[in-house]
Structures are given as C-alpha cells and as structure tokens.
C-alpha cells in the first residue's frame, strides 16, 4: 500500500511572524491565541507597535461628542473663553469642554480682570478664566455637565462660578482634592449652590 503524504507550502510573514499553511488550495491560519502570544512577545521585546496618541484620542472624543448634537438636529453650544495667554489650567478646561461637545473659541486677553468686571462677575467668585455660552457667564472651572444643565433649565441668573481654582475640578485634576460647590450668581451678587462636585484626579 502506498502512503500519500500531504504537501504543505509554508509561507512566512515579514519579520519572522507566524506562519500560514496552504494544503491543496486551502489556507489554514494560525489560531488566535498564537497571534496574541506573538503580540505579547513583541511588546516584551520592545518592538514597535501601533499606538494612539493622547491628542488623537481627545480629538476623536470631541468629534463624537459634537456629532451627538447634530444627530439630534442641534448645533453644539458655542463657548467664548477669555483667559490669560499663559494660563495652562484654562487650556485644560477648554479641552474638557471640547470633549463634551462644546464648540469653543479661545481669546487670550492681557487684562482678564477687565473682562470679569464687564460681565458682572463678583470679586469673591472670580477665577482664572471667564466664558460666555447661551447668554450666561461661566466663571472658572465649572464642569461641562453643569453647563449643560444650566442651558437646559435656563434659570434667571447671570451664570455659574467655581471660585478660585479647586484641586480636582475640570482642568485642575490632581490628588488630595476636596468636594467643591458650583454656584449660581445674579446681577446683585447673590449666590446659591447649583451643585456639589466630587474631585477628580484625571481628565
């Protein structure tokens, strides 16, 4: 009796990767666990792997958030942000707002105090940046969720404020933060607590 031996045509992926076997016109691919093992080995050896940068990730999130408004037939809320040219935490707050779907425009101004006076922000409520959205004034590191609620409920106030720059607020993420209040304020400077927020250590 003559034994027939199967003929395999072996091909190798570039760089010494996994092999695939071709048996009489049929390709047998390596099992998934073998592919995972190769990827894990490459990672241990420090071989280059495709990664997504933080900037690209944030851009993708902001695009998705903006698209969610358009799907509902709405335009993303426009936010005009006034800040000092050298303020880093202000820029981080702008990123926080973009990631939640807000259409932000940033204006660096040499005299931010004059902007706060113009828009009737009481001295005791002032922070590093001032923003305008939907007819309201947003002072400091106010969470985007509170701005969204403000625009939905439309209370009769001048705006919202987070006085100072509390650790753990959007744009001021860090360790050892404490709960902080988001306040409404009116033209007379009267305030009420709009929300109490828990601090966050990451954006």
Question: 134 is written with which tokens?
Answer: 């939907």
Number of domains in the chain: 1
pLDDT at 201 over 90: no
Say what the pLDDT of residue 202 is.
Answer: 80
Which residue did the predictor score with more confidence, 33 or 193? 193
What does the mean pLDDT of the chain come to?
78
DSSP 3-state of 143: coil
Q: How confident is the model at residue 18 (pLDDT cuts 50, 70, 90)?
A: very low
Residue with tokens 């903006």: 66
Residue 95 located in a structural domain: yes
pLDDT of residue 27: 46
Q: Is residue 3 included in any domain, yes or no? A: no
Section 32-40 average pLDDT: 45
Q: Per-residue pLDDT averaged across 187-199, rounded?
A: 97
**Residue 82, domain member (yes or no):** yes
Any domain includes 106: yes
Contact 80, 118 (CB under 8 A): no
Q: Which of 122, 134, 99, 132 is nearest to 191 (CA)?
A: 122
Q: What is the pLDDT of residues 127-147, one digit of tens each?
A: 999 999 999 999 999 999 999
Using DSSP's 3-state secondary structure scheme, residue 108 falls into strand
Does residue 20 lie in a domain region? no
Residue 125: pLDDT band by 50, 70, 90 thresholds? Answer: very high
Residue 202 included in any domain: no
In a domain, 8, yes or no: no
Count H helices and E strands in the chain, helices first.
5, 10
Residue 100 predicted with pLDDT over 80: yes
Which residue, among 142, 133, 112, 122, has the nearest Cα to 185 in the 3D structure? 122
Q: Which of 143, 140, 40 is nearest to 96 (CA)?
A: 143
- Report whether 28 contacts 21 (CB < 8 A): yes
191: three-class secondary structure by DSSP: strand
* Contact by Cβ (8 Å): 144, 100: yes
pLDDT of 177 reads: 95
Sequence-separated (6 or more) residues with CB below 8 Å from residue 101: 62, 65, 66, 68, 69, 76, 77
In this structure, what DSSP letter does residue 158 have?
S
Per-residue pLDDT at 68: 52
The CATH number that applies at residue 72 is 3.40.30.10
For residue 161, give the nearest of 134, 142, 188 by alpha carbon.
Answer: 142
Q: How confident is the model at residue 73 (pLDDT cuts 50, 70, 90)?
A: low
Residue 96: pLDDT above 50?
Answer: yes
Structural domain span for residue 177: 54-197
More confident call, 80 vs 75: 80
Q: Does residue 108 belong to any structural domain of this protein? A: yes
């Amino acid at each position: 009796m003559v034994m027939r031996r199967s003929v395999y045509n072996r091909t190798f992926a570039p760089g010494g990767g996994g092999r695939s076997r071709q048996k009489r016109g049929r390709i047998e691919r390596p099992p998934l666990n073998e592919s995972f093992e190769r990827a894990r080995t490459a990672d241990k050896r420090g071989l280059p792997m495709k990664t997504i940068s933080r900037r690209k990730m944030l851009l993708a999130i902001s695009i998705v958030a903006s698209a969610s408004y358009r799907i509902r037939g709405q335009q993303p809320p426009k936010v005009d942000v006034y800040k000092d040219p050298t303020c880093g935490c202000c820029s981080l707050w702008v990123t926080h707002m973009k990631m939640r779907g807000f259409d932000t425009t940033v204006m660096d101004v040499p005299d931010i105090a004059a902007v706060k006076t113009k828009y009737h922000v009481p001295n005791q409520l002032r922070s590093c940046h001032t923003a305008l959205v939907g007819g309201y004034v947003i002072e400091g590191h106010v969470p985007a969720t509170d701005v969204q609620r403000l625009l939905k409920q439309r209370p009769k106030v001048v705006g919202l404020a987070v006085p100072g720059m509390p650790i753990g607020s959007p744009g001021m993420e860090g360790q050892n933060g404490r709960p902080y209040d988001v306040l409404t304020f009116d033209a007379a400077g009267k305030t009420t607590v709009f929300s109490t927020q828990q601090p966050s250590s990451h954006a």
